[in-house]
Amino acid sequence: MKKEIKEKARKIKLLILDVDGVMTDGSIILDNEGNELKRFHVRDGHGIKMLQRAGIKVGIITGRKSKVVALRAKELGITEVYQKIFKKSEVYEDLLKKYKLKDENVAFMGDDVVDRELFKRAVLSAAPADAEEEAKKWADLVTVRGGGRGAVREFIDLILKSSELWEKVSGETLD
């Protein structure tokens, strides 16, 4: 891992996630009743819980609105959930003020062109392996795993291991 990435990761106090294509594989399933279904990866959820135990806040900013996102966020204890947001940078700015943070304290994971401003602002950004090519260009790193397939966990593990918080939340020592 690059030294620069590791140094950035040590300062993280807030992780902001997009949903479709990041926490999910980007598929939207509608049943005959009009209910929307999304598939989330359990290890991403476990990673989010570990990050929270380490004292790092997690927020969601997404362009779509979905009941299932609110349910998943509640299940994971994520209270900063913003849906149907066209200008994500405005919510980002509000979160910085609310928690008295700077760009250097924020990590972001997105997958498409609508995430451009947050890729630019956050000190550390990542895109899933299957993100749009433009998003990959703006990201500090591209995960090996795809959206909804463990990409979030991969990014979280990097943050925790770089911040020397891994042992605290996993009970495992790094060799």
Residues 96-152 have pLDDT tens digits of 999 999 999 999 999 999 999 999 999 999 999 999 999 999 999 999 999 999 999
For 108, the enclosing helix (H) or strand (E) is strand 106-109
Query: Quick check: 143 and 22 in contact, CB under 8 A?
Result: no
Residues 8-51 have pLDDT tens digits of 999 999 999 999 999 999 999 999 999 999 999 999 999 999 99
Instruction: Note the pLDDT of residue 174.
Output: 54
CATH of 3-163, one of 3.40.50.1000, 3.40.50.12280, 2.60.120.380, 1.20.272.10: 3.40.50.1000
The structure's pTM equals: 0.94
For 23, left (φ over 0), alpha (ψ -120 to 50), or beta?
alpha
Q: Alpha-carbon distance 10 to 75, whole Å? A: 27
Confidence band of 166 (pLDDT split at 50, 70, 90): confident
